[in-house]
Amino acid sequence: MAGGAGMVIRPDVVYDAYKSLDTKNAKVIYLSPKGNLLNQKKVEDLSKNSHLILLCGHYEGIDQRVINKIVDEEISIGDYVLTGGEIPAMVLIDSISRYVEGVLKKESILEESFSNGLLEYPQYTRPEVFEGEKVPRSFTLRSPQKYRRMAKTKIFGNNKNKKTRFIRKIK
Domain boundaries, the chain: 8-97, 116-170
Helices (H), 8-143: 11-19, 40-46, 64-70, 86-97, 106-111
pLDDT at 65 over 90: yes
* Per-residue pLDDT at 136: 84
DSSP string across 106-151: HHHHHHSTTTTSSPPPP---S-SEETTEEPPGGGG-S-HHHHHHHH
Its CATH architecture, for the domain 116-170, is Orthogonal Bundle (1.10)
Could you tell me the pTM of the whole model? 0.77
Q: What's domain 8-97's superfamily in CATH? A: SPOUT methyltransferase, trefoil knot domain (3.40.1280.10)
Cβ atoms of 118 and 159 closer than 8 Å:
yes
pLDDT at 119 over 60: yes
**Burial (CB count <10 Å: 0-12, 13-18, 19+), residue 163:** middle
Calculate what percentage of the chain has a pLDDT beyond 90: 55
* Per-residue pLDDT at 37: 97
Calculate what percentage of the chain has a pLDDT beyond 70: 74
Give the mean model confidence (pLDDT) for residues 140-158: 65
